[in-house]
Structure 1
Amino acid sequence: MDVLTTAITNAVRSQEQPTKTVLSSLLAIQDKIGYIPKESMEVVSLEIPNTTVNDVWAVASFYPNFKFEEPAKCNIEICWGPTCHIAGAMEIFEEAFESLDITEEGRTQNGEIELGFNTCLGACAQAPVVAIDHHLIGRVTKSLLKNKIEGLK
């Protein structure tokens, strides 16, 4: 068994609740590894009785929060909710694109930073809002974001 398959198996088996399900197993894998590798489908199907690989894929693909590729080292989310939009989120997007040298949401060329849009980060009073690795930054300006991104490189 290779290192990744061992890590997946350990994540599934280390669940503490008495009843293990496909969903709880996928959550455990993503919590431990950071994403759900394709090898997870077979491991979960073997660990959960009466479950097929197709059953596991059906659950995994249903929930949008599951990630199927290794995450970037840093994730930046820019709020695009109505309040942030009115407060200047478009300028923040433009600065992010320029500072990261990308033209749309996604990963930088080296794959180290991922930029995404979020419909609401829940801090409207601080608009515009950016989250860097889930840490909220409010009242973001172009220069503040540029400095934060430079610090990540």
Structure 2
Amino acid sequence: MSEKLPFYMAYQNQLPIDTAWERENSRDVSYMKSMYPAEVKKILPYVEAECDRLEYDVSMIYDEYPDRLQIQMICGRVYANVKGQIDFADKQKDKTDDLPTKMEDDWLRELVWVMTCQEICRRRQERRNFQRKYYFLNESVS
């Protein structure tokens, strides 16, 4: 065997890519989520549960360009669950006495939209990183 192999080819059981930056990113995400306001922390489990439900191989959240209507439907399900389980109206009533009811609900719907899109982006990024790592691992085995 006259050609030289990269150093990681000699150690087949180890990952060829350092994952320290992945651990650091994961810590950053958890820390930022811990800094969410209390009301937003109540919504987060509903968003994560819906994204967990959609996390499979050919899920629409992993499409190159996820469909806006599908994202709206996901957000609608999360919003309905949040609205049915958590009552935000009493805390906001004194602040929004002069606002119409539609505007009172819009802030929650938009917050759910932003949180869902952010969670989908995070999961897409994790999947991309995992696929790259897996690709390099398979490449080194053959």
TM-score bin (small chain): under 0.3
Q: What TM-score do the two structures reach when normalised by structure 1?
A: 0.25
Q: What TM-score do the two structures reach when normalised by structure 2?
A: 0.27
Greater share of residues in strand: 1
Greater share of residues in helix: 2
Ranked by relative contact order (alpha carbons within 8 Å, sequence separation 6 or more), the top structure is 2
Larger Rg, first or second structure (1 or 2) = 2
